[in-house]
A and B are shown apart, each in its own frame.
Chain A
Amino acid sequence: MFAALPFVYGNHALLFNMMMYLVLAQGINVLFGFTGYLPFGYVGFFGTGAYGASLAILLLHLPPLPALLVGAAAAALVGLILAPLLRLSGAYFAIASLAASEIVYYIVSNPHLTPITQGPYGISLVQAYNAGASYAVMVAVLALALGAVVYLRNSHLGLALQAIREEPISAGFAGINVVRERTRAWLLSAALAGLAGGAYAWHVSVFYPKPVFDLNISVFAIVFTLFGGVATLLGPIVGTLLLYGLYNWIGISQPEYFQLVFGIVIVVLVLFLPNGLVSLLRRIKIDVP
């Protein structure tokens, strides 16, 4: 659908960002929906992907497509380094992952590393800029993210992850390798964010470290996912389309009013509808993929 839309709708930046958030929301969905870990620092992987891909282009002189893979690999590598965080539970994990993403940000933007990462002065990829190709890549990344969630919903791995989420100890007794399975979900989720970050970097081609490590990116993706409903394919899509649409309607000119609506949505959601919008459909006996 997003492959065809640019021909009928002129605001390509909006379409691109919407796809980006769809990927990130599904990435959050993979982790939070299926394992119950809420990564506040998810944006760290996004930023790592953006920087990994950009540096691969600038320093290794790779063409953009392999560079994207380098970005995803960099994000997965950071995920691997941070995998011990999965020993923490609930809110501890959420805050520790936030701290981890801040660490990555401060390292990347440190003025002492200017020769490598350009420090706080940002990245310029003008020589590789290609709006059409990077748009197409994001469509592919989105398809991959959706495919990952479909796979998780219908596979042994997804079932195992949900079992771990509900009862880790019983799941271990049932023969599930708890640590390995959830590390897999964590790395998959990290790589998705890395791909999205790389595609974003290529698409905008000039960016500063602050916006690609902006906590709001995590926040948006998390709330979009929660709003729609976790552990479903449709939930994060519905959440992103509705809320990111709302953001573009009022959020860009008056971000504080959007933030207010956002906060209220979160509170109301937690108090009255903890399983998201799609749980309304479930309640009237319509099964949602």
Chain B
Amino acid sequence: MIAYTLLAGLLFGLYFSLVATGLNLVFGVMRLINLAHGDFLMLGAFLAYGLYTAAGVNPLYTIPAEIAAFMLAGIALYYAVVPRLLSSRDPEMLSFILLFGVSQIIEALAVIAFGNDQRAIPATVFGSRPVFLFGQSFPAAWVVSAAVSAIALLAVYVYLYHSRLGYATRAVMASRDEAASTGINVHRVSAVALGAGLALAATAGAFSAFMLGSIEPDMGIGITTVSFAVIVIGSLGNPLGTVLGGLVYGLGLMFMETYFPSWADLLPYVLLILILLVRPSGLLGKRVRLA
């Protein structure tokens, strides 16, 4: 029982890391909390669902389409609103409220387009046989989702630490002004980061049907809160700290669901508030955030 819970926690932990990484990347680069994060994930889920029902496409093969579409959407969103906001009096609060408006628009359009029903992709698309890990059996969909998450997280690592644009991204994270003064095109870096953040959310969305239950238009805000909890547990502004946050959250969730199922819903919120109050810099944080 414990071995099963532990392994399931790790699988879900990897998946939740993917769910939250995009939010953290965007926060790290732009210091803004993308309140529409969960709604973009929801759109990614509906894209996967649509391709599956219309053409029988396996969610695995929709990933390139998800990445391309949401990368472009993110870049467009950035240039449409952010430069204008940066010149205002209180950019952090205003962008927070603005993204909340964006989230409402997305949710409303999703209801208009897809209706209010719950959708699901049958978990048997990855084969109906369970996968055995260390003597425990798990649904194939869980293992596939966790593997895709691991690959995507690895890709984020390679991008940040082994590519030119990634170096520039980390420079902007460290100090926006200094990065600009060394000739880095801050707007381009930020636009790509927002695009990448949305693309990561959408990729996670393609597997949400298996990991988060059904797909429905109003799932966004809950996912945003959980993602926020995960990145706060890890460390705000440090995309790789998210992996730790995701694992802590995934394990915590699985143990709660096994031993105290009726209280499991409380977990992300309690963790979030505890960490914010006790250790605002997160488990991996180095310096104290000015809050």
Q: CA A47 – CA B246 in complex, angstroms?
A: 31
Q: Which stretch from B68-76, B126-134, B207-215, B266-274 is at the chain A interface?
A: B266-274
Q: Whose C-beta in chain A lies nearest to the C-beta of B260?
A: A112
**Interface residue B7 (Cβ < 8 Å from any Cβ of A):** no
**Interface residue B94 (Cβ < 8 Å from any Cβ of A):** yes
**Interface residue B101 (Cβ < 8 Å from any Cβ of A):** yes
* B contact residues around A107 at 8 Å (CB): 266
Q: CA A148 – CA B270 in complex, angstroms?
A: 32
Q: Is the CB of A266 within 8 A of B266?
A: no
Q: Is the CB of A263 within 8 A of B262?
A: no
**Interface residue A103 (Cβ < 8 Å from any Cβ of B):** yes
Q: Is the CB of A102 within 8 A of B269?
A: yes
Q: CA A214 – CA B290 in complex, angstroms?
A: 31
**Interface residue B255 (Cβ < 8 Å from any Cβ of A):** no
Q: Is the CB of B276 within 8 A of A96?
A: yes
Q: Is the CB of B269 within 8 A of A111?
A: no
Q: Whose C-beta in chain B lies nearest to the C-beta of A82?
A: B273
Q: Is the CB of B108 within 8 A of A259?
A: yes
Q: Is the CB of B104 within 8 A of A270?
A: no
Range for the number of chain A residues in contact with chain B: 35 or more
* A contact residues around B268 at 8 Å (CB): 99
Q: CA A91 – CA B34 in complex, angstroms?
A: 10
Contact with A along B102-124 (1 / 0, CB 8 A): 11111111011000000000000
Q: CA A103 – CA B276 in complex, angstroms?
A: 15
Q: If A256-B108, A271-B84 touch, does A226 touch B97 (CB 8 Å cutoff)?
A: yes
* A contact residues around B97 at 8 Å (CB): 38, 226, 266, 270
Q: CA A88 – CA B63 in complex, angstroms?
A: 37
* A contact residues around B84 at 8 Å (CB): 271
Q: Is the CB of A88 within 8 A of B291?
A: yes
Q: CA A136 – CA B266 in complex, angstroms?
A: 37
Q: Whose C-beta in chain A lies nearest to the C-beta of B33?
A: A91
Of the listed residues B100, B107, B112, the one surrounded by the most CB atoms of chain A closer than 10 A to its CB is B100
State the main secondary structure of chain B at its contact with A.
Answer: helix
Q: CA A36 – CA B229 in complex, angstroms?
A: 23
Q: Is the CB of B276 within 8 A of A263?
A: no
**Interface residue A249 (Cβ < 8 Å from any Cβ of B):** no
Range for the number of chain B residues in contact with chain A: 35 or more
Q: CA A94 – CA B228 in complex, angstroms?
A: 12
**Interface residue A267 (Cβ < 8 Å from any Cβ of B):** yes
Q: Is the CB of B96 within 8 A of A91?
A: yes
Q: Is the CB of B111 within 8 A of A266?
A: no
CB distance from B117 to the nearest CB of A (A): 13
**Interface residue B88 (Cβ < 8 Å from any Cβ of A):** yes
Q: Is the CB of B291 within 8 A of A92?
A: yes
* A contact residues around B273 at 8 Å (CB): 85, 96, 99-100, 103
Q: Is the CB of A90 within 8 A of B93?
A: yes
Q: Is the CB of B270 within 8 A of A103?
A: yes
Cβ < 8 Å to B, chain A residues 52-107: 84-85, 87-92, 94-96, 98-100, 102-103, 106-107
User: Ordered nearest first, which 6 A-B pairs have the shortest CB separation?
Assistant: A266-B101, A263-B104, A263-B105, A260-B108, A259-B108, A99-B269
Residues of B within 8 A of A (CB): 32-33, 81, 84-85, 88-89, 92-98, 100-109, 111-112, 221, 225, 228-229, 262-263, 265-266, 268-270, 272-273, 276-277, 280, 290-291
- Contacts A99-B269, A102-B225, A265-B101 supplied; 13 other A-B pairs, CB < 8 Å: A85-B277, A89-B290, A91-B92, A95-B225, A96-B272, A106-B263, A111-B262, A256-B112, A259-B107, A260-B109, A262-B108, A263-B103, A270-B98
